[in-house]
Structure 1
Amino acid sequence: MKKNPGRQDSIVNRIIDGSVNIESEKEFENLLNIFPNEPSLHRALADLLVKNNSKEAADDAYEQSVELFIDTGRILPAVVSKILKWRIARPVDNEGRDFYARIHDCKSLDKPLNRFFTELSYQEFVSILLKMVPCRFPADTIIKRPGDIENYLYFVVSGAVSESSLPRANMSSESKGRHQVDLTESEFFGNIYPFEQEKVSHTQVKTITNVEVVKISKPDLIKICRKYSELGFKIDNLYTWRNESDEKGATQVIRKTVRHQLPTRVYMKVFEITAGGAPLQIEGFADDISSGGACVVIREQYRFGPPDVMVGKNVKLEVVLSNAAVHLTILGRIVWGKDIFLEGKKSVAVGVRFTEMTDNDRELLHDYCSGSEGEQNLIWSLWESMVK
């Protein structure tokens, strides 16, 4: 049965996966003024700092992303950020044990992989981290084909992949329809256990979006299990827990992970375009919105120059919440702009930092961004009915 991988085209997601390129530390600083608590932006900034050989600043940015990922129960991205931080400078033992304790105490056990990490011993945990290899793949890349030898266990860090198999002749007609599943953050693929069996892949795994995974090889896991005999049982449990996971619950979790990427209609009035001229009226939508600001996508027809021309302009936003019954009025300033392609069409994305709103609007916006699972599912249902 195919699961909905959530909207993967939000501006923040596109920045994180590299499909929207941020070329300077200053751009990241402007975006982090809007989304200071978005751990993936801190992680992306750290990656840029490493590229620019600013290792001390990168170390700090990775650590900031680790703390924010853990605070939101996102164990695997926290683990990967910590691995990349330790590539800059080897950890002292206390740092490793402190990190292990933070992961071990994490209460977000809604996914089998989270539960797996929290049940590892310290020695098992560190041994696995040391053998994990981060990899990135562009959209529409085949990672694994039917007939390949199963030699790796892959964990999805960001983005979405589709795992599909051809229906076999002995399948019932009902089973033949259930041959594809979409996997997102903290889900995994690779059928390598039990170790003593050499297995051939019966599925194809293909990226839907730009994707980051970490992989660990079967030989490396065998070596670790020989040293720590209990680990084999825990890997077996990981597969068992995944098989027992309720499909409906998994879909709800996917939607919950993108709660700050809710589709939101926005009307924006831009001031100071020309001396003495009337404000520019713009209609767009925000996939990424928080209490501090929003990324607003506007269509090409509203362009009046390069996106940089809009940076520094004061704006007045009318934000239409999902039921169209609540309109928020918020003052802000554009701090970032970028040309993008969305659904094959040229658009402009601008980052707006909120500067003023009423206490009532602030409370409504907070409730909207952090709404209950049921509310968010309703929002997605409304959005999906609009775009059909």
Structure 2
Amino acid sequence: MLAMNYSIADHILNGAIVVESVDAFGSIVKQFPDHPHLLRIYADLLTAKKHTEAAACHYALAVDACLTGGKLLPAMLAKARQWMIERPSRTDLRAFHRRLEAAESDGTPSSEIVKGLSPAERMALFSRVELLCLPPGTVIRQPGEPENALWAVVSGRLKESNYETVAQKPRHSSEPVRTLKEGEFFGDIYPFSADILSRSCIEAVSRVELVSFSRRRLIQLCRKHPNLEQVVLAVCRVRFRPGLEHATAELRQGERYVIPVRMRLEIAPYVVGQTPLVLTGQSRDLSLSGLSFIPESSPPANAVALKKAVGRKVKVTLPLDDFSDGRW
């Protein structure tokens, strides 16, 4: 009987069985009260059937099960769905982020990345995320299609078949076919400024749940939260492990614009009411996430003030004529 029960749960998760009865699904959930994905799927069914109070309760149970198992991305998604039913207070928000940060990660790329974000970065990244459920055999992406999003596998398995054209340089990934599992990513969207075409066919092997982060949205978020660009680079590092440390450095350097540009920095004072610290100098290179600054001079007084500048608001002024002579 136990083996049969596990078979039923597995069939629900891989899409072989679809249970549309709240009562029938509820009886199955009672046999697996700590199964994170089963709890969330049941909560989704309750939401669809307008049983919102019960749905919120089971989303909360799914969050608990996910955090216990170190599944931090599913925990974040389940909590976001619970918050759509029950609007959280600031205290609720802080308490959840503390729990998530204290939870032990299962070691998957998605869990490590979610854990490494600040609460503000997490909320910004997941504020407009939709969970996509697809049946087995669905082709998510074909070779030659534009890479416009970064995808995370929430549950299920996919097959990634890699292809190389004559015009393309070989990638560091040496596997012609690989399995994408829960907690992994796909989507080659970095560097942001490049128009990248897919080199692989990605097909669902089982029922899969995916979340996507559009490249346009990520670019906007990286401008507001610079640490997120490092998150994207970390995802690239996981996808292309061999030699990626060197490749990542080349990506960042290749996307920096080596232009001597005059700059004026105005750093907000450490104490309100004091005079801002103003520095002039040049930028050596520019990129999406930041720039380097070489001051014209570095008096001892400024050196002391700069130690207190970490975390302060900075206003950067770039003369327009530096970009009008064709170097850009």
Judge same fold: TM > 0.5, yes or no: yes
- 1:97 partnered with 2:94: yes
Match of 1:159 in 2: 156
**Cα distance in 1 between the residues matched to 2:174 and 2:8:** 33
**Cα distance in 2 between the residues matched to 1:32 and 1:149:** 40
Alignment TM-score, normalising by the size of structure 2: 0.66
**Cα distance in 2 between the residues matched to 1:80 and 1:54:** 19
- 1:146 partnered with 2:157: no
**Cα distance in 2 between the residues matched to 1:135 and 1:222:** 22
Verify the 8 A CA contact 2:148 2:215 in the aligned structure 1.
yes
Higher relative contact order (CA 8 A, sep 6+): 1
**Cα distance in 2 between the residues matched to 1:190 and 1:83:** 23
Match of 2:45 in 1: 48
Identity across aligned pairs (percent)?
32
- 1:25 partnered with 2:9: no
- 2:214 corresponds to which of 214, 217, 233: 217
RMSD of aligned Cα (Å)? 2.6
**Cα distance in 2 between the residues matched to 1:239 and 1:177:** 15
**Cα distance in 1 between the residues matched to 2:62 and 2:113:** 21
Shift of 1:135: 0.7
- Measured against aligned partners, the alpha-carbon deviations of 1:121-151 in whole angstroms (never above 9, x if no partner) come to 1111100111222111111111111111111
Match of 1:129 in 2: 126
The alignment of Structure 1 onto Structure 2 pairs a total of residues equal to: 236
**Cα distance in 1 between the residues matched to 2:91 and 2:74:** 21
Match of 2:35 in 1: 38
Letter of the 1:228 counterpart: H
**Cα distance in 1 between the residues matched to 2:42 and 2:107:** 28
**Cα distance in 2 between the residues matched to 1:177 and 1:244:** 10
Q: How does 1:355-370 map to 2 (within 5 A)?
A: none
Verify the 8 A CA contact 2:151 2:212 in the aligned structure 1.
yes
Q: Which has the larger radius of gyration?
A: 2
Give the direction of change, closer, same or farther, for the CA distance of 1:101–1:21 in structure 2 (3 Å limit).
same
- 1:237 partnered with 2:239: no
Shift of 1:167: 4.7
Verify the 8 A CA contact 1:159 1:211 in the aligned structure 2.
yes
SS in 1 for 2:238: helix
Verify the 8 A CA contact 2:173 2:241 in the aligned structure 1.
no
Shift of 1:228: 1.1
Letter of the 2:142 counterpart: R
**Cα distance in 2 between the residues matched to 1:181 and 1:24:** 36
Shift of 1:79: 1.7
**Cα distance in 2 between the residues matched to 1:72 and 1:176:** 30
Match of 1:330 in 2: none
Alignment TM-score, normalising by the size of structure 1: 0.56
- 2:185 corresponds to which of 185, 188, 198: 188
**Cα distance in 2 between the residues matched to 1:176 and 1:190:** 13
Letter of the 2:159 counterpart: S
Q: How does 1:308-319 map to 2 (within 5 A)?
A: none
- Measured against aligned partners, the alpha-carbon deviations of 1:298-333 in whole angstroms (never above 9, x if no partner) come to xxxxxxxxxxxxxxxxxxxxxxxxxxxxxxxxxxxx
Name segments (4+ residues, structure 1) moved above 4 Å. Answer: 167-171
Verify the 8 A CA contact 1:28 1:41 in the aligned structure 2.
no
Could you say which structure has the higher strand fraction? 1
Match of 2:83 in 1: 86
Verify the 8 A CA contact 1:154 1:213 in the aligned structure 2.
yes
Verify the 8 A CA contact 2:63 2:76 in the aligned structure 1.
yes
Verify the 8 A CA contact 2:137 2:205 in the aligned structure 1.
yes
Letter of the 1:101 counterpart: R
Letter of the 1:163 counterpart: E
Shift of 1:76: 1.6
Letter of the 2:132 counterpart: C
Match of 1:202 in 2: 199
SS in 1 for 2:230: helix
Verify the 8 A CA contact 2:69 2:106 in the aligned structure 1.
no
Shift of 1:168: 4.7
Q: How does 1:247-286 map to 2 (within 5 A)?
A: none
Verify the 8 A CA contact 1:161 1:208 in the aligned structure 2.
yes
Verify the 8 A CA contact 1:149 1:200 in the aligned structure 2.
yes
- Measured against aligned partners, the alpha-carbon deviations of 1:68-115 in whole angstroms (never above 9, x if no partner) come to 111011112212211222222332222222222222222225222211
- 1:108 corresponds to which of 97, 105, 109: 105
Letter of the 1:26 counterpart: D
Shift of 1:176: 11
**Cα distance in 2 between the residues matched to 1:38 and 1:176:** 34
Which runs of no fewer than 5 residues in structure 1 stay unpaired? 1-8, 246-388
- 1:226 partnered with 2:219: no
- 1:74 corresponds to which of 59, 63, 71: 71
